[in-house]
Amino acid sequence: MMRLSALLYASGLASLLIHPVGAQTHLPSRTIVDQAAPVTVDPPPPVAEWWKNGGPRVRPTDSRIRALLKSGSERSSLLRELVDKVDAGNVVVYLGFDLTMSRKGLAGRLTFSGDAGAYRYVRASISPDLTADQIIASIAHELHHVTEIVEHPEVRSESDLRNLYQRIGRENRAADRIGWETEAAQQVTYDVRRELHLGRGDAVAVRDAGRKAALR
């Protein structure tokens, strides 16, 4: 009996080993249906236009001046307008503090940094020793100068910048150094300081009334 059982076991094992693979196709098939709700993927958030086109134009170099730029933009509509104008142009401005500015008797200064073809780069240096409102007004002053450069695509070097202000500005001496200034930038300083002092809504009303009176 043990021999017969062994023989039957061996023959059964052999039949398993030589069973054609094709025979497996006769097994019943089963389709698995996922009953879970379909996963919906939210579309990516829209990319800001300035990021598609070279990145932000106004680039603070430290957290303090970034916070003052943000605060000033919230309190001064004129500063916000200047930031928007710069962002729409091709001049990138690095905005930061310069510890030597007070010693030079300057609140702010703009210098040309480079020309990269599609973009031009400048640096706006602000004195850190001013009050918060004075710093915000100085930022607005220098950003107005940036808009002046935006409007003159021929400015591609420091000498081009000097030639521009010889045409549109006037000489301004500070700490025995020759600089250049425009009346429009000085007016921006005054208007922004007034906005910060009066509050944005009241200052805008005053400024608009002044513009209307000038047109009469």
Domain spans, the chain: 52-215
What is the reported pLDDT for 20?
Answer: 42
DSSP letters, 183-212, are HHHHHHHHHHHHHHHH-HHHHHHHHHHHHH
Picking from 188, 81, 74, 62, the residue whose alpha carbon sits closest to that of residue 125 is: 62
pTM over 0.75: no
Please enumerate in sequence order all residues whose Cβ is within 8 A of that of 214, keeping only pairs 6 or more positions apart, or say none: none
Distances (CA, A) of 126 to 24, 66, 103, 178, 181: 81, 12, 12, 18, 15
Has residue 115 got a pLDDT over 80?
yes
Average pLDDT over residues 136-156: 97
Q: How far apart are CA 10 and CA 106, in angstroms?
A: 103
